[in-house]
Amino acid sequence: MVANSGLVLLYILSPVIWKPQKCIGCKNVVRFGKKSLLPLRKSSCSMQASTVRYSFETKSVVSIPSSEKNSSNVVKESSKKAVRNDVEDDDQLPLVFDLPAITSYWERRQVESRRRYFEVVSRILPFFIKVLLESRSGKLKETETERAIEFREMLTYLGPTFIKLGQSLSIRPDMVGPRAMEELQKLCDAVPPFSTDIALAMIEEELGKPATELFSEISEKPIAAASLGQVYYARLKSTGEEVAIKVQRPDMLRKVTLDLYVMRKVAALMEVLQEKLMASRVQYRALLDQWSRSMYLELDYVNEGKNAMRFSKYLQDFPEVYVPAVYFEYTSRRVLTMEWIYGKKLAKSEPAEIRRLVRVGVNCFLNQLLGTGFFHADPHPGNLLVDKKGRLVILDFGLMSEIDKSQMDRMIIAIIHLANRDYKKVVDDFIFLGFLPENVDRARIGSMLGVVLDQALQGGGAKNVNFQKLSSQLSEITFELPFQIPPYFALIIRALSVLEGIALVGDPQFKMIMEAFPYVSKRLLTDESPYLKQALREILYKNGQFSPKRLRVLVDSAQGFIQNGEAFVDFDTPPQVGASTAQVLQFLLSEEGAIIRNLLADELANGLDLWLRHFLQQLRSSLLAPFPVSIRSYIPLPLTMRLATAEPLESKDYHYLENMQQAVLFLLTDRTNVGSQSISPFLLQQVTKSFMEEEVVHMLPQLIKESVGWNRRVFQKLLEVYLKRLGNEIFSS
């Protein structure tokens, strides 16, 4: 085993032994020892030295080959915007992620790629082998914190692409473990700014005109600088509007693709070492390819602008959230121009403002995640501002994610199963969502999830649990299980954790779980999806029978009233203070209340049928009482009475009638008066009292109007019941 590992190590470090020799002119082949590499195109020969300087006269980058240093014929990059075909850039690098094209490009540039490869491997390999050996010997638990710090420092040293990778790993407990996650969250992509002269040249090259012709003013220094680009304040010359210009760092596409190429080779070697030294099997290359696609998209500022505009279209129901306008005529792949926003960071606002806007932000994010399926995957504190109008401003749309309707619906269902502590079904949800393989031990995983969640919720319910704490506790077990967090969900975890972290600044009692449930309840009550309708029935028909209490809990939750219970939400304990009768009626009469109206109509029809049967049975008994028992069956009765009394009521039917009265009490009265009394006089008294309220009186015309359609459905349902009975009567006679 050790010998084999040594051979692998020797192979990895072989670039150290290979010593580059001079370029062989006409053949243009670079030789390393006895190895010959692929021929290089003459124009891209890496052995040919060159000098790069900046031309202040033409504001363009000038490249002077060594053979022409003393020549007056200087080769200049065109200041005009490069003609692009949206497939490759001027240097034959693909503009969309294309692994074969990237590989081919860098395999033709062996000197540069091997130099970077050696730099990366010399840092990563010793660290990775150390971790593998400590893991095998059982010492990794003791050194975990030390290795986590070492890992963060290593990624920082290797540069922007590796920092971005580390930030992505910081939300992957299934890959790096809880201690490493905590350490990687400290990674910062802030780097020193590059020259403004170079930025101006980039603007000219990308937009086709000098910056002085496009902008009447531009800040001398960048307002902010990050690993991929930097931002300037400017004013449009044509309209005088204030804008923010984001300019990408020079040669970023080349640098990033080189790192991606090298990363993939390192990932392949890590898989070899893993196979030799560990039982676990992580597909590093497949995971890296997934991440590389999103990383590649962040380099395309036109795509970022389109994301911002698409995101903005989904904010019609959120007037307190704003996305800056994009100026596409001043935007290209490497230059993005957006509306300038005067404001302050949300995290530095007053606590009351933080509380207000975080709740707005949470609902906005949940609508993205569970409503539109298109969500902002990087809402870190620097991307959330408060403008002069008190609106929440969202910036930076380079990293977005998208999920389909089935995933959205299943996440809502999973939340419901978690709230019900139905961990067996939670495991099924996780399998559907891609967290667990099909052949997993469902009983074992369900039991482990139950232990963690029950401990987290012990002593006060969800109000004592925050999302970050819960994520951390879950990560402790997911690292030990065949658990794989899908890339889209890793971004969700990151976004929710950031929002909760900001909220805790303004409100130490803030809990993401409790804030999310009203949205989930409303979706359950209003969404036409078959999956969600089934989930709604699972909640409302506990043990197969309709539960008015649970309906009221959902209606109250959708209105923002939640009772703190042992689970996330206790479906069997309505809150002490809930929605008013007017609020409930307003919901039931609205378009959003259609599903519940139909459900209640069906239940009411069944209840009326039972009540009529009960009434007619009593009437029948009264009519037949004077006659001897022996001849009662021969006395003719109207067909309607025979149909109505065809089936005698059982105890479950009487319980159903009580349930229906409870439904009316819970939905249309002040529930603080609801006790064991459920007889009709009490019901009538409470309903009459509620309908005398001023708010409700104003709604009576609308209630009467809407009740016409509702009554029609009740009648149709009753008719179905009686027609079915008539058929049974005919065929049985």
Query: Are residues 572 and 610 located together in one domain of the fold?
Result: no
Four-residue CA torsion sign, 169, 170, 174, 180: positive
Residue 346 to residue 277: CA distance in whole angstroms: 47
Among 514, 548, 579, residue at a domain's last position? 579
Q: What is the pLDDT, as a whole number, of residue 59? A: 33
Residue 459: which region, alpha, beta or left (left: phi > 0; alpha: psi -120 to 50)?
left
In a domain, 104, yes or no: no
Residues 6+ apart with CB under 8 A from 252: 228, 229, 299, 334
Domain with 692 in it? 584-625+636-732
Q: What is the dihedral of CA 131, 136, 137, 142, to 10 degrees?
A: 40
The active-site residue out of 174, 259, 300, 378 is 378
Round the average pLDDT of the chain to a whole number and report it.
75
Among 546, 562, 579, residue at a domain's last position? 579
Query: Are residues 494 and 591 located together in one domain of the fold?
Result: no
Closest Cα partner for 662 from 511, 551, 542? Answer: 551
Whether the Cβ atoms of residue 584 and residue 562 lie closer than 8 Å to each other? no
Q: What is the pLDDT, as a whole number, of residue 36? A: 30
Query: Are residues 575 and 595 located together in one domain of the fold?
Result: no
- Overall average pLDDT of the 208-225 stretch: 95
Q: What is the pLDDT, as a whole number, of residue 601? A: 80
Query: Are residues 472 and 430 located together in one domain of the fold?
Result: yes
Of the candidate ranges 121-135, 432-446, 498-512, 595-609, the one whose mean pLDDT is the lowest: 498-512
Best-predicted range by mean pLDDT among 55-64, 209-218, 410-419, 684-693?
209-218
Instruction: Identify the band that residue 561 occupies on the pLDDT scale cut at 50, 70 and 90.
Output: low
Q: Tens digit of pLDDT for each residue in 74-103?
A: 223 333 333 344 444 546 899 889 999 999
What is the b/e burial string over 625-659, where b = at least 16 CB atoms within 10 angstroms of the residue's CB?
eeeeeeeeeeeeeeeebebbbeeeeeeebeebbeb
Of the candidate ranges 23-32, 163-172, 439-448, 719-728, the one whose mean pLDDT is the lowest: 23-32
- Write the DSSP string, 23-62: -BTTTTB-EETTEEPPP--GGG-TTS-EEEEEETTTTEEE
Four-residue CA torsion sign, 426, 432, 433, 438: positive
Is residue 401 within a helix (H) or strand (E), and if so which, with residue range?
A: strand 400-402
For 678, phi then psi, to 5°, come to: -145, 15
3-state secondary structure of 223: coil
Of the candidate ranges 138-142, 205-209, 389-393, 503-507, the one whose mean pLDDT is the lowest: 503-507
In a domain, 100, yes or no: no
Residue 330 to residue 571: CA distance in whole angstroms: 54
Is residue 336 within a helix (H) or strand (E), and if so which, with residue range?
A: strand 335-339
Rg from Cα positions in the chain: 34
Query: Are residues 607 and 497 located together in one domain of the fold?
Result: no
Report the 10 Å Cβ neighbour count for 79.
16
Instruction: Identify the band that residue 197 occupies on the pLDDT scale cut at 50, 70 and 90.
Output: very high
In a domain, 478, yes or no: yes
Query: Are residues 568 and 596 located together in one domain of the fold?
Result: no
Query: Are residues 539 and 596 located together in one domain of the fold?
Result: no
Q: Tens digit of pLDDT for each residue in 330-381?
A: 999 999 999 999 999 988 899 889 889 988 888 898 888 888 999 888 777 7
Q: What DSSP state is assigned to residue 368?
A: I
Query: Are residues 570 and 593 located together in one domain of the fold?
Result: no
More confident residue, 2 or 552: 552
Burial class (CB in 10 A: 0-12, 13-18, 19+), 334: buried
Query: Are residues 591 and 565 located together in one domain of the fold?
Result: no
Query: Are residues 535 and 562 located together in one domain of the fold?
Result: yes
Largest CA distance in the chain: 130
Report whether pLDDT(621) > 80.
Answer: no
For 218, phi then psi, to 5°, come to: -150, 140
- Whether 378 is catalytic is yes
More confident residue, 395 or 476: 395
In a domain, 71, yes or no: no
For 237, phi then psi, to 5°, come to: -70, -30
Query: Are residues 711 and 618 located together in one domain of the fold?
Result: yes
In a domain, 693, yes or no: yes
Best-predicted range by mean pLDDT among 148-157, 456-465, 590-599, 647-656?
148-157
Please count the structural domains in the chain: 2
- Overall average pLDDT of the 48-53 stretch: 32
Report the 10 Å Cβ neighbour count for 35.
10
Query: Are residues 437 and 551 located together in one domain of the fold?
Result: yes
